């Protein structure tokens, strides 16, 4: 139910907005570019005989179809809901275990923004900044074969053990800047860049028991370029 909270707030806000507000939809490519950092894989370090604090984890970049909905409350303020098709990410170890693929995950990061639109002389360009809240829902987590084999080689697991991966869902802030470019009364272009705080805890489990946890601050840059249509 938590993953519906941001969308529910958006719908509630829209229903309470004045009648003169208008709606726009933006569709285009949206990319998540992590600027991640993490705690060390301390258990794996001990098993592999590596120095303490010499490892970590990171997440790769992914691009999907983005859809954002704008609800213009008045000339200065707009509510925006950012959505997308599920992002897919591979998770890799760093440092002394660089190149080891830990696993993969998918996530949906619905984000509700309050945008302030600057009143400029040009009717064509509509620059804005925004602040809001993000909820990131992780799902379809999977431990990679490379991790399973590495644990087997270190005698930490056997071939009959089940190794799995879990990621904790995340709440965080979001900051945004962008511009809408008007082509005619209905059509336009939409460009935006957002910085989102996405912090999660990854857990490696063997037969359902957690054997390794790692704190990961993904904190991605989210960029979108798309077509805009105003109803």
- Give per-residue pLDDT as tens, 106-161: 999 999 999 999 999 888 999 999 999 999 999 999 999 999 999 999 999 999 99
User: Residue 13: pLDDT above 90?
Assistant: no
What is the chain's length?
231
Q: What is the mean pLDDT of residues 166-174?
A: 97
Percentage of the chain lying above the pLDDT 70 cut = 91
pLDDT band for position 16 (cuts 50, 70, 90): very low
CATH class given for the domain over 2-230: mainly beta
Q: Could you read off the pLDDT of 181-209 as tens digits, one per residue?
A: 999 999 999 999 999 999 999 999 999 99
Q: What is the mean pLDDT of residues 48-64?
A: 94
- Residue 21 has what pLDDT? 53
**Two tokens at 184?**
């005619």
How many whole angstroms separate alpha carbon 117 and alpha carbon 139? 35
The single-letter DSSP state of residue 100 is -
For 36-80, the DSSP string reads -EE---HHHHHHHTPPTT-EEEEE--EEEEEEEEEEE-SSSEEEE
Per-domain boundaries in the chain? 2-230
How many whole angstroms separate alpha carbon 189 and alpha carbon 230? 11
The single-letter DSSP state of residue 149 is H
Range list of β-strands (E), the chain: 22-33, 37-38, 55-59, 62-72, 77-84, 87-95, 101-108, 111-117, 125-143, 163-167, 170-182, 187-196, 199-206, 209-217, 221-230
When the pLDDT of each residue in the chain is averaged and rounded to a whole number, the result is 91
- Residues in Cβ contact with 122 at an 8 Å cutoff, skipping those fewer than 6 apart: none
pLDDT band for position 33 (cuts 50, 70, 90): very high
- Residue 213 has what pLDDT? 95
- Residue 20 has what pLDDT? 43
Burial of 80 (0-12, 13-18, 19+ CB in 10 A): buried
- Residues in Cβ contact with 1 at an 8 Å cutoff, skipping those fewer than 6 apart: none
User: Residue 73: pLDDT above 70?
Assistant: yes
User: Residue 3: pLDDT above 50?
Assistant: no
pTM (predicted TM-score):
0.86
**Two tokens at 65?**
């179809």
- Residue 36 has what pLDDT? 85
């Amino acid at each position: 139910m938590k993953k519906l909270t941001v969308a529910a707030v958006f719908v509630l806000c829209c229903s309470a907005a004045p009648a003169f507000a208008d709606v726009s939809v933006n569709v285009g490519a949206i990319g998540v570019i992590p600027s991640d950092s993490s705690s060390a894989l301390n258990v794996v370090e001990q098993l592999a005989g590596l120095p303490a604090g010499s490892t970590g984890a990171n997440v790769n970049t992914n691009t999907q179809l983005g859809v954002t909905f704008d609800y213009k409350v008045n000339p200065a303020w707009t509510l925006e809901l950012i959505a997308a098709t599920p992002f897919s990410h591979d998770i890799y170890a760093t440092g002394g275990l660089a190149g080891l693929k830990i696993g993969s995950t998918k996530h949906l990061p619905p984000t509700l923004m309050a945008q302030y639109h600057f009143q400029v002389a040009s009717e064509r360009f509509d620059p804005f900044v925004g602040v809001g809240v993000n909820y990131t829902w992780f799902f379809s987590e999977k431990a990679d074969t490379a991790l399973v084999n590495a644990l087997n080689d270190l005698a930490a697991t056997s071939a009959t053990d089940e190794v799995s991966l879990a990621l904790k869902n995340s709440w965080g802030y979001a900051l945004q800047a962008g511009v809408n470019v008007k082509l005619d009364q209905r059509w336009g272009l939409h460009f935006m860049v957002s910085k989102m705080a996405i912090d999660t805890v990854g857990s490696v489990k063997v037969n359902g028991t957690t054997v390794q946890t790692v704190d990961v601050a993904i904190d991605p840059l989210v960029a979108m370029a798309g077509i805009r249509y105003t109803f």
